[in-house]
């Protein structure tokens, strides 16, 4: 397996405990990467698609860790019959992640989430239900990704944190993400013409973030 990219490395870095559930494992980079770097002892690799799951199975064979990767086809946590210490749920939309979290009978103590869209909806759902350990951005392959790390507790997101999170820990990638988003919104609508509603709220969050970070 090649060295994981910055996003995958950041996800693996947040894993704690002995058992990982990689929900939506697809290529298997998180599942196999976490084992290869000694972060965990066992992984439940779950995917709703048999073809995607097969990619993880093949990678785990090629890398010699197949005895520690339990490949399960199914929806979210449903096929797992033990409690993992950490779950990574990455590379799908925030609304899909909400539906996986809300359907789970039991959740791991630590959740590492990386929504590829609809981060706003995900934060609205998790606010007040979990402790927010970290909420930060990474840039990889010319794109920005948001990573939300949760544990047991009940932290609230404040208004102005739902689209782009808490920048915790603070990263240069977060600065680049919000300044790039400001440029896109201003280019698309012109400084004064962004319509009211969700887009306006997003723009206000971006502007406040830029002001705070002196961008
Ligand atoms: C784009 S891939 C992401 C792979 C990897 N997690 C990553 O972040 O690079 C999304 C994967 O999630 C799977 N998936 C989508 N919804 C799912 C669900 N409800 N339960 C399990 N897997 C799901 C898809 O089949 C697909 O293989």
Q: What is the pLDDT of residue 59?
A: 98
Q: What is the pLDDT of residue 192?
A: 67
Q: What is the pLDDT of residue 190?
A: 77
- Number of helical (H) and strand (E) elements in the chain, helices listed first: 7, 7
pLDDT-derived band at 3 (thresholds 50, 70, 90) equals: confident
Question: Does the CB atom of residue 23 touch ligand 1 within 6 A?
Answer: yes
Sign of the CA dihedral running 17, 19, 25, 31: positive
Q: Which of 25, 45, 47 to mutate to test the pocket of ligand 1 (most atoms within 8 A of CB)?
A: 47
Residue holding tokens 């319509």? 195
- pLDDT at position 22 over 90: yes
**Average pLDDT score over residue span 193-199:** 83
d(CA 97, CA 213): 30
Q: What is the pLDDT of residue 147?
A: 98
Maximum Cα–Cα distance across the chain? 59
Asked if the bond preceding 56 is cis, omega within 30° of 0, the reply is no
Question: Does the CB atom of residue 96 touch ligand 1 within 6 A?
Answer: yes
Q: Which of 60-69, 102-111, 181-190 has the lowest mean pLDDT?
A: 181-190
Burial level of 168, CB count in 10 A (0-12/13-18/19+)? middle
Question: Does the CB atom of residue 90 touch ligand 1 within 6 A?
Answer: yes
- pLDDT at position 2 over 90: no
**Average pLDDT score over residue span 55-75:** 98
Q: Which of 44-58, 85-99, 187-201 has the lowest mean pLDDT?
A: 187-201
Residue holding tokens 């820990």? 169
Residue whose CA is at the smallest distance from ligand 1 atom 15: 24
Please compute, for residue 84, the number of CA atoms within 13 A of its CA located in the half-sphere on the CB side.
34
- pLDDT at position 178 over 90: yes
The residues pairing with 147 across neighbouring beta strands, listed in sequence order, are 136
- pLDDT at position 156 over 70: yes
Residue 157, helix vs strand vs coil: coil
Token pair recorded at residue 137: 């951005």
Which has the closest alpha carbon to 141: 188, 166, 173, 163? 173
Q: What is the pLDDT of residue 191?
A: 64
Q: Which of 174-178, 196-200, 208-212 has the lowest mean pLDDT?
A: 196-200
Question: Does the CB atom of residue 26 touch ligand 1 within 6 A?
Answer: yes
Q: What is the pTM of this model?
A: 0.97
């Amino acid at each position: 397996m090649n060295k994981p990219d910055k996003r995958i490395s950041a996800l693996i870095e947040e894993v704690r405990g002995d058992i990982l559930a990689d929900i939506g494992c697809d290529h298997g980079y998180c599942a196999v990467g976490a084992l290869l770097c000694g972060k965990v002892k066992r992984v439940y690799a779950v995917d709703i698609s048999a073809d995607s799951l097969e990619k993880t199975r093949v990678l785990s064979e090629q890398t010699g860790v197949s005895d520690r990767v339990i490949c399960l086809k199914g929806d979210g946590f449903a096929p797992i019959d033990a409690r993992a210490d950490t779950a990574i749920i990455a590379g799908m939309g925030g609304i899909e992640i909400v539906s996986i979290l809300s359907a789970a009978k039991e959740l791991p103590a630590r959740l590492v989430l990386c929504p590829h869209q609809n981060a706003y909806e995900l934060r609205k759902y998790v606010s007040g239900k979990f402790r927010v350990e970290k909420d930060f951005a990474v840039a990889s392959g010319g794109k920005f990704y948001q990573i939300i790390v949760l544990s047991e507790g009940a932290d609230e997101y404040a208004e102005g944190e739902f689209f782009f999170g808490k920048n915790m820990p603070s990263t240069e990638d977060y600065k680049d993400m919000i300044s790039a988003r400001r440029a896109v919104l201003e280019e698309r609508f012109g400084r004064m013409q962004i319509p009211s509603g969700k887009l306006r709220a997003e723009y206000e969050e971006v502007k406040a973030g830029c002001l705070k970070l002196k961008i």
